[in-house]
């Protein structure tokens, strides 16, 4: 893609539409989303010479009941029951590919399904097969500030330039880019976004009151792609900007204020999705100020949203960020459970409790949060961090889908029980009352959207996993490659190389950064690069407890913080036991001597050395594979990734050397292979 283009097409380059564009297509359906499908088809046909003024058709895309169907399509309908919101049925017989949906959103998703299939959509016979999103809510939360924050900038933890919505205190008004974003989201299955940061500052607290026009304009640009807008709101908004003396959730004036503001929001944006709240966390206001609890706070907002069909997403990320490092009984990992489990069953039906995947904070390796097994009466959403705050900040290749798949497939109630995917998506055919999946967006106004071009794959994978959480992560990467590099002359070779570079990149990152689940040995503040003791004597609750004898946090019931007891059996016993605890989580749950022997026979200290040397070697190998792709991908994209690989390698070496040196100095144990430790 040439630089002349304002922004990269990501997974929707024109070439991805070749197979559809060369066919004769009939679109049946009304309303703006069906209009979007018609435009897409027309654009592809203009480019690739297809199109038809009448039958026979190669492709029929229809919303049920919107017009007389050709015979083949009728036959497919006859075989299918009701499909449901956003779903579609796809099948092919007698040379006709048919996509049917109950609603126009389903038609749009069905269209992009055909695009993904490419020529396979028009080959042989298949289906009919029903496709339905596992989760109703598939939302990306943008940590975008309207005003530039003095420390966090325009986008908090953003690694891809400025916000696509806001600049220097105002809406950018670049709705072409917002529309293009909506289109990318529809093509991977995301159906909602939050347009501002969960840390809500003064200007952003006014979005629902004084700056609704800006939000409505974004909502209008996204509507044709089935993407709804949410707002992060400040719990203290009734006081400022509201002017009331209190924001007490049980105060009638406060409740009336939120009801009034919410009615205004819906008047401007009829399909508004809801509110997202970070309360009593890292300095954000919340119900504790008024002696009330999280259920009081969440239910108050839920009552304001309920008449309009909106939801409140309340984050479970609540902990004491002013802890005394000397105090070993307080454990940040315990906090979400301790705060929220007693409230199970007390939240209104339109409250979703949004839970980070691990108990601490988006580290490259954490156990799955114990909340997922502990709140059966609450709608839980899984929160994933697509933006790579702790996973290389979009300067390192770190393909996150394999990590997310592990989380989604984990069975919190024990082997054979429901997995996390089931717990957060429920059974969409019946209640539709699941929590869903939320991702913290990695997008900015960078040409490639995500800073690192290969980080686009994380955004794509988030959407695809939110739609079908059990899809194999390598298959998702495969789709992404096929679409993004549809213009490639030798796609098979490129596919092979990109898999080799990306499939294992999360584990590579884990190897040169955080061994055995220890986490948070990052530079305080920006969280980039190593600083082993950077957080060790701070109030943030993120420690490794390394001394001359050993390393790791004792979270056992027997001798530690008791965090293992927040899991049901068997996990409470597995994690408690030094013998049974999985090695990759060993230092998360146990403080062990450097000589502790892992399952593969290596000691902990030797494992630290080995993985740090190996991690750097893996980066070297990936970088040289990428160099081999010069000429196989667009030169600008190639150059961007090459530059980033140089930085990744520099940083990986820094990690290796600081970690190895630190633990060598602490332990005095030399590397068994005599490699260079400083």
Catalytic residues: 282, 361, 389
Q: Are 315 and 281 in contact (CB under 8 A)?
A: yes
CB nearer to ligand GCW: give 40 or 156.
Answer: 156
Helix, strand and coil percent figures for the chain, each rounded to 5: 40, 15, 45
CB nearer to ligand GCW: give 109 or 506.
Answer: 506
Q: Are 17 and 47 in contact (CB under 8 A)?
A: yes
Residue 317, interface with ligand GCW (CB under 6 A)? yes
Residue 136 has which token pair? 């109703």
Spatial separation of the C-alpha atoms in residues 452 and 506, rounded to whole Å? 15
Nearest partner of 212 among 266, 165, 251, judged by Cα: 266
CB nearer to ligand GCW: give 362 or 655.
Answer: 362
Instruction: Kindly give, in sequence order, each residue whose CB lies less than 8 Å from that of residue 342, ignoring residues fewer than 6 positions away.
Output: none
For the CB of residue 431, give the shortest distance to ligand GCW in the complex, in Å: 28
Give φ, ψ of 489 to 5 degrees: -75, -30
Residue 540, interface with ligand GCW (CB under 6 A)? no
Spatial separation of the C-alpha atoms in residues 533 and 547, rounded to whole Å? 11
Spatial separation of the C-alpha atoms in residues 601 and 621, rounded to whole Å? 26
Please tell me what DSSP assigns to residue 504.
T
Torsion sign, CA atoms 185, 188, 194, 196: negative
Spatial separation of the C-alpha atoms in residues 107 and 340, rounded to whole Å? 39
3-state SS, residue 255: helix
Spatial separation of the C-alpha atoms in residues 323 and 326, rounded to whole Å? 9
Spatial separation of the C-alpha atoms in residues 38 and 274, rounded to whole Å? 30
For the CB of residue 199, give the shortest distance to ligand GCW in the complex, in Å: 5
Instruction: Kindly give, in sequence order, each residue whose CB lies less than 8 Å from that of residue 267, ignoring residues fewer than 6 positions away.
Output: none
Spatial separation of the C-alpha atoms in residues 105 and 113, rounded to whole Å? 12
For the CB of residue 318, give the shortest distance to ligand GCW in the complex, in Å: 10
Spatial separation of the C-alpha atoms in residues 332 and 441, rounded to whole Å? 25
Q: Are 61 and 99 in contact (CB under 8 A)?
A: yes
Spatial separation of the C-alpha atoms in residues 121 and 115, rounded to whole Å? 8
Instruction: Kindly give, in sequence order, each residue whose CB lies less than 8 Å from that of residue 536, ignoring residues fewer than 6 positions away.
Output: 325, 543, 544, 546
Which of 8, 23, 116, 157: binder of ligand GCW (CB under 6 A)? 157
Nearest partner of 149 among 195, 202, 113, judged by Cα: 202
Residue 144, interface with ligand GCW (CB under 6 A)? no
CB nearer to ligand GCW: give 158 or 463.
Answer: 158
Q: Are 465 and 138 in contact (CB under 8 A)?
A: no
Which of 362, 448, 449, 485: binder of ligand GCW (CB under 6 A)? 362
For the CB of residue 585, give the shortest distance to ligand GCW in the complex, in Å: 20
Spatial separation of the C-alpha atoms in residues 664 and 646, rounded to whole Å? 27
CB nearer to ligand GCW: give 63 or 231.
Answer: 231
- Categorise residue 45: left if φ over 0, alpha if ψ from -120 to 50, beta otherwise: alpha
Residue 357, interface with ligand GCW (CB under 6 A)? no
Contact pattern from residue 230 through residue 269 relative to ligand GCW, giving x for each residue in contact according to CB under 6 A and a dash for the rest: ----------------------------------------
Which of 191, 199, 363, 441: binder of ligand GCW (CB under 6 A)? 199
The CB-nearest residue to ligand GCW is 361
Please tell me what DSSP assigns to residue 214.
H
For the CB of residue 317, give the shortest distance to ligand GCW in the complex, in Å: 5
Residue 204, interface with ligand GCW (CB under 6 A)? no
Which of 142, 278, 357, 452: binder of ligand GCW (CB under 6 A)? 278
**CA 455 to mean position of chain CA atoms:** 12
Q: Are 350 and 323 in contact (CB under 8 A)?
A: no
User: Hey, which residues does 276 pair with through a beta bridge?
Assistant: 232, 313
For the CB of residue 356, give the shortest distance to ligand GCW in the complex, in Å: 7
CB nearer to ligand GCW: give 156 or 413.
Answer: 156
Which of 188, 198, 300, 384: binder of ligand GCW (CB under 6 A)? 198
CB nearer to ligand GCW: give 143 or 535.
Answer: 143
DSSP assignment of 144-184: EEEEEETTTEEETT--SSS-SSEETTEE---HHHHHHHHHH
Which value, to the nearest 10 degrees, does the dihedral of the CA atoms of residues 256, 258, 264, 269 take?
A: -140
For the CB of residue 145, give the shortest distance to ligand GCW in the complex, in Å: 10
For the CB of residue 385, give the shortest distance to ligand GCW in the complex, in Å: 7
Q: Are 266 and 314 in contact (CB under 8 A)?
A: no
For the CB of residue 527, give the shortest distance to ligand GCW in the complex, in Å: 6
Which of 45, 248, 361, 554: binder of ligand GCW (CB under 6 A)? 361
CB nearer to ligand GCW: give 272 or 362.
Answer: 362
For the CB of residue 157, give the shortest distance to ligand GCW in the complex, in Å: 5
Residue 143, interface with ligand GCW (CB under 6 A)? yes
Instruction: Kindly give, in sequence order, each residue whose CB lies less than 8 Å from that of residue 397, ignoring residues fewer than 6 positions away.
Output: 452, 454, 501, 502, 505, 622, 644, 645, 648
Which of 102, 156, 479, 554: binder of ligand GCW (CB under 6 A)? 156
User: Hey, which residues does 436 pair with through a beta bridge?
Assistant: 381
Residue 366 has which token pair? 């954490």
CB nearer to ligand GCW: give 40 or 361.
Answer: 361
For the CB of residue 541, give the shortest distance to ligand GCW in the complex, in Å: 12
CB nearer to ligand GCW: give 225 or 317.
Answer: 317
CB nearer to ligand GCW: give 89 or 277.
Answer: 277
How many residues make contact with ligand GCW (CB under 6 A)?
A: 10
CB nearer to ligand GCW: give 317 or 340.
Answer: 317
For the CB of residue 387, give the shortest distance to ligand GCW in the complex, in Å: 10
State the angle between helix axes of 456-467 and 401-409 in degrees (0 to 180), rounded to the nearest 10. Answer: 20
Q: According to CB under 6 A, which residues from 389 to 418 bind ligand GCW?
A: 389
For the CB of residue 619, give the shortest distance to ligand GCW in the complex, in Å: 24
CB nearer to ligand GCW: give 314 or 571.
Answer: 314
Positions that interact with ligand GCW (CB under 6 A): 143, 156-157, 198-199, 278, 317, 361-362, 389
């Amino acid at each position: 893609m040439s630089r002349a283009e304002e922004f990269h097409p990501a997974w929707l380059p024109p070439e991805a539409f070749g197979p559809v564009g060369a066919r004769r297509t009939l679109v049946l359906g009304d309303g703006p989303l069906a209009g979007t499908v018609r435009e897409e088809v027309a654009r592809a046909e203009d480019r690739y010479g297809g199109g038809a003024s009448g039958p026979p058709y190669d492709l029929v895309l229809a919303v049920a009941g919107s017009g007389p169907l050709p015979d083949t399509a009728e036959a497919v309908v006859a075989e299918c029951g009701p499909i449901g919101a956003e779903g579609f049925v796809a099948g092919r017989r007698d040379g006709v590919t048919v996509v049917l949906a109950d609603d126009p959103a389903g038609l749009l998703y069905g269209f992009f399904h055909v695009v993904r299939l490419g020529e396979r959509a028009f080959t042989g016979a298949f289906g009919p097969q029903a496709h339905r999103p596992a989760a109703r809510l598939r939302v990306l939360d943008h940590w975008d500030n309207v005003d530039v924050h003095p420390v966090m900038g325009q986008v908090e933890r953003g690694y891809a330039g400025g916000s696509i919505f806001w600049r220097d205190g105002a809406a950018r008004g670049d709705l072409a880019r917002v529309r293009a974003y909506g289109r990318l989201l529809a093509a991977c299955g995301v159906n909602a976004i939050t347009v501002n940061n969960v840390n809500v500052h003064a200007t952003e607290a006014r979005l629902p009151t004084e700056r609704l026009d800006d939000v409505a304009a974004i909502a209008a640009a996204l509507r044709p792609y089935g993407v709804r807008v949410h707002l992060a709101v400040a719990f203290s908004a009734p006081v400022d900007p509201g002017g009331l003396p209190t924001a007490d959730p049980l105060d009638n004036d406060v409740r009336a204020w939120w009801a009034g503001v919410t009615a205004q929001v819906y008047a401007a944006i009829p399909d508004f999705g809801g509110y997202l709240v970070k309360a009593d966390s890292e300095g954000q206001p919340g119900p504790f100020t008024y002696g009330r609890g999280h259920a009081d706070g969440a239910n108050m907002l839920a009552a304001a949203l309920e008449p309009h069909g909106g939801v409140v997403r309340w984050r479970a990320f609540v902990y004491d960020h002013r802890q005394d490092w000397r105090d070993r009984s307080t454990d940040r990992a315990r906090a979400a459970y301790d705060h929220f489990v007693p409230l199970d069953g007390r939240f209104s039906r339109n409250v979703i409790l949004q839970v980070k995947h691990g108990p601490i904070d988006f580290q490259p390796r954490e156990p799955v949060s114990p909340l997922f097994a502990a709140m059966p009466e609450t709608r839980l959403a899984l929160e994933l961090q697509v933006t790579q705050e702790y996973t290389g900040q979009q300067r390192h290749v770190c393909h996150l889908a394999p990590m997310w798949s592990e989380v989604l497939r984990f069975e919190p109630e024990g082997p054979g029980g429901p997995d996390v995917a089931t717990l957060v998506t429920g059974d969409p055919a019946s209640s539709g009352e699941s929590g869903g999946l939320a991702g913290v967006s990695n997008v900015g106004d960078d040409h490639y959207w995500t800073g690192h071009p290969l980080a686009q794959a994380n955004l794509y994978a988030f959407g695809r996993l939110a739609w079908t959480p059990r899809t194999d992560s390598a298959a998702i990467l495969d789709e992404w490659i096929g679409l993004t590099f549809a213009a490639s002359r030798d796609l098979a070779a490129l596919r092979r190389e990109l898999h080799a570079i990306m499939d294992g990149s999360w584990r590579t990152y884990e190897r040169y950064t955080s061994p055995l689940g220890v986490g948070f040995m990052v530079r305080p503040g920006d969280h980039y690069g190593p600083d082993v003791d950077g957080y060790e004597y701070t109030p943030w609750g993120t420690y490794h407890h390394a001394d001359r004898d050993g390393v790791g946090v004792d979270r056992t019931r027997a001798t530690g913080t008791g965090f293992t007891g927040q899991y049901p059996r068997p996990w409470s016993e597995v994690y408690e036991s030094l013998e049974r605890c999985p090695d990759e989580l060993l230092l998360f749950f146990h403080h062990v001597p450097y000589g502790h022997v892992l399952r593969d026979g290596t000691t902990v200290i030797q494992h630290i050395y080995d993985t740090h040397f190996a991690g750097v070697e893996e980066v070297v190998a990936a970088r040289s594979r990428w160099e081999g792709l010069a000429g196989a991908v667009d030169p600008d994209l190639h150059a961007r990734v090459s530059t980033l690989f140089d930085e990744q390698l520099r940083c990986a070496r820094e990690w290796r050397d600081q970690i190895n040196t630190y633990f060598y100095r602490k332990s005095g144990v030399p590397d068994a292979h005599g490699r260079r430790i400083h």
